[in-house]
A and B are shown apart, each in its own frame.
Chain A
Amino acid sequence: MALHIKNGRLIDPASGRDAVGDVFVADGRIVESLKGKAERTVDAKGLVVAPGFIDLSVRLREPGQEYKATLESEMTAAVAGGVTSLACPPDTDPPLDEPGLVDMLRRRAKSLSRARVYPVGALTVKLEGKSLTEMGQLADAGCVAFSQANAPLADTQVLWRALQYAATFGYPVWLRAEDVWLAKGGVAHDGEVATRLGLPGIPPFAETVALGTILELVRATGARVHLCRLSSAGAVEMVRRAKAEGLPVTCDVGIHHVHLCDIDIGYFDSQCRLEPPLRSQRDRDALARALAEGVVDCMCSDHTPVDEDRKHLPFAEAEPGATGLELLLPLALKWGAAHKLGLPATLARITSEPAKILGVASGRIAAGAPGDLAIFDPQAPVRIAPESLKSQGKNTPFLGYELAGRVRYTVVAGNVVYEG
């Protein structure tokens, strides 16, 4: 399929290019010009043409949790949000700890021919934190990294061995830093809000204590570690120093944690029940700033569809998580505008930067790169409402918000997979 996108404002964050022009895609890749006639022409006048977005944490809920979401519904949500590549964490049911499961997931995703799915394999069998998975076979099946998702890994001996083993073969390990014991029983940031509401707290040092352990093990093993969903100002400073030291670490932040804080829980709003918890305003501001400075590499939606029944519960009993795929662009734009960043710098956090972490060639508009594009109107309003979300998960703290940034076309491998 030969595709011609004309008159758009082309933004390629990787090169900093920002100019009106045309893009051509042939045989699934971006090309300088088309040899023959375009089979389809899209007029992108007044719209931004950017690389398709890359989201490092999307729970598709398959296999095992189809009552929360299905591959079908979430892949539709992905392209509606302009997301053309996504990494899915291994906390499915059963977890992605066997090559057969990974293979099946990739086949199912491929048959839907929407976004590209990059499975993250389980670091330990059943995510139990006891024995290592067959990382080599999982990598052959398509796993791009290994992770515990939100499952605890209390045994530091196992963590040490896992990092040694992964480092031996050069597999990246994605970890969320949270000390199991310090976080035990907690449901909200341990601060004034949790104290007022009588919610058991998770202190910020639950994150920094675990992060200290991880960084020390990175230093010892040389493993390449990506730190998922930082939540505290203290963690930001530790990562800043680790990067200055030259440790092979990268990190991301979720869309909620750069915009919201514990005060947003209000009167026990279970939409704000998230993992990690929303922390203080100071933490939120530090995260948003660190993302602008590049200490935090990228932003992800941490898409976690939860069914209504599991949200309609008292705060502590509600299942953590929020839907996010369709909010990634508007919330990235909102963050970028708040920090007076131009569109190229803003979009880098959801295109070229996560592409580096994922180790893929997409995330840029350059000849030879995969023909994945998001074409959007950065000013068009979007109202976040259950009926407008394609995701099966209607749970988000942003319900009722009016945000800016509407995706008009999503292109994967040169095929227009979404028009809105």
Chain B
Amino acid sequence: MNNPQLNANGELQHLLSIEGLPREILTQILDTAESFAGVTEREVKKVPLLRGKSVFNLFFEPSTRTRTTFEIAAKRLSADVINLNIAISSQTKGESLLDTVANLSAMQADIFVVRHASSGAPFLIARHVKPHEHVVNAGDGRHAHPTQGLLDLFTIRHYKKDFSKLTVAIVGDILHSRVARSLIHGLTTLGAPEVRVIGPQTLLPAGVEALGVRVFHDMREGLRGADVVVMLRLQNERMGGALLPSAQEFNKHYGLSADKLSLAKADAIVMHPGPMNRGVEIDSSVADGPHSVILPQVTFGIAVRMAVMSIVAGN
């Protein structure tokens, strides 16, 4: 089966998932992002790489942070950005996903940044766009959020330099998390020797070990000796049903407190894709504490998205 993300020369045509991307491409994206990190600090925060190109932000699911950082990234690359909040436009009028894309394509799009509630939706779009058009997945269902995964990798590399000795613990709702899936694939591809997932059985998907992770149900055990702790957002709608009894009980077992964090390495970093539920998955003392790199993650996100868009558009 051909990898639908790569063109005939093995270059990145679309960014749909971290899974299946070779280490060289991941490293190329991270290195390119490194070079863009400087742009953000300049007085004139623009480079002309995508001048004359149009980036369509197609968000079939609401998002503030991801959409905004994509918009900033595209503008810093001098692209024209068109934001479409599809959730309240054509889809409610019954237009199909592919019709929407075909219509936008007729408006001369170059890059589609797509977020959709259904796993695999960006793959469907990528199969139907014109050869010069590129699709960047900004989160599809539970499947993948590759730019978030890349910015997480960028953050880890920034603070820890080398993946080859790291123990990374990912904590919380793995079942519904596209962030976790993307990060796991990225870490295993870049050679992190120990990736742990920590959560109750109800929030771990079937056969998750096959992704190359070790499963822990006891958070203290799972955090022991970790270099990186990634907390996942726990959606409110998961509460009070059959998955979890309450936010308080989740916090008791799987919330990151200073006390639990003390089991990780002394120089461990704490990450969170946002938005945070303080007092649920993470205590404020940790979120705002010395181990936290949560705000730098957001800043790095812009450089990583610039790198991704400039690379796909250049291929």
Contact = CB atoms under 8 A, between A and B. Distances in A.
Interface of A: 190-192, 194-201, 203, 266-268, 270, 309, 312-317
15 contacts: A192-B206, A192-B207, A195-B205, A197-B119, A198-B119, A198-B141, A198-B142, A198-B144, A199-B141, A199-B143, A200-B142, A267-B1, A268-B123, A314-B97, A314-B120
Contacts of A313: 96-97, 118, 124
Interface of B: 1, 4, 19, 96-98, 116, 118-121, 123-124, 140-144, 178, 181, 205-208, 210-211
A414 to B, nearest CB: 47
Nearest to A315: B120
A317 B118 contact: yes
B74 to A, nearest CB: 25
A250 B119 CA distance: 37
A180 to B, nearest CB: 15
A225 B95 CA distance: 43
B163 to A, nearest CB: 21
Contact of A195 (B96, B116, B141, B207): B207
B206 A198 contact: no
A198 B211 contact: no
Nearest to B125: A314
Contacts of A200: 142
Given A198-B142, A198-B143, A314-B97, A191 B119 contact: no
B210 A195 contact: yes
Contacts of A197: 119-120, 143
Given A195-B211, A197-B143, A199-B119, A312 B205 contact: no
Nearest to B204: A195
A312 B124 contact: yes
Nearest to B5: A267
Given A190-B206, A309-B96, A313-B97, A196 B120 contact: no
A314 B206 contact: no
Contact of A314 (B4, B121, B142, B210): B121
List 5 tightest A-B contacts by C-beta distance, closest first.
A268-B120, A198-B143, A198-B142, A314-B118, A192-B207
Contacts of A194: 205-206
Contacts of A199: 119-120, 141-143
B207 A191 contact: yes
Given A201-B205, A312-B98, A313-B96, A267 B143 contact: no
Contacts of B143: 197-199
B18 to A, nearest CB: 12
Given A196-B19, A198-B143, A203-B206, A314 B119 contact: yes
B96 A316 contact: no
Contacts of B210: 192, 195-196
A316 B205 contact: no
Given A267-B1, A313-B118, 8 more contacts: A191-B207, A197-B120, A199-B142, A199-B143, A268-B119, A312-B98, A313-B96, A316-B119
Contact of B4 (A196, A201, A203, A267): A267
A217 to B, nearest CB: 26
Contacts of B207: 191-192, 195
A268 B124 contact: yes
B63 to A, nearest CB: 17
Contact of A198 (B1, B98, B181): B181
A260 B67 CA distance: 39
Given A267-B1, A314-B97, A315-B119, A195 B208 contact: yes
Given A191-B207, A194-B206, A195-B210, A314 B116 contact: yes
B86 to A, nearest CB: 14
B309 to A, nearest CB: 22
A190 B201 CA distance: 14
A203 B205 CA distance: 11
A199 B123 CA distance: 14
A192 B212 CA distance: 11
A111 to B, nearest CB: 36
A268 B19 CA distance: 14
Nearest to B141: A198
Contacts of B181: 196, 198
A161 B35 CA distance: 72
B119, B121, B178, B211: residue with the most chain A Cβ atoms closer than 10 Å = B119
B123 A267 contact: yes
A398 to B, nearest CB: 15
B44 to A, nearest CB: 40
B178 A198 contact: yes
Nearest to A190: B206
A189 to B, nearest CB: 9
Contacts of B141: 198-199, 314, 316
B252 to A, nearest CB: 27
Nearest to A317: B118
A186 to B, nearest CB: 11
B21 to A, nearest CB: 14
A315 B205 contact: no
Nearest to B127: A267
A196 B206 contact: no
A313 B205 CA distance: 24
A267 B2 CA distance: 10
A266 B1 contact: yes
Contacts of B178: 198
Contact of A191 (B1, B4, B206): B206
A113 to B, nearest CB: 39
A192 B207 CA distance: 5
A108 to B, nearest CB: 32
A71 to B, nearest CB: 28
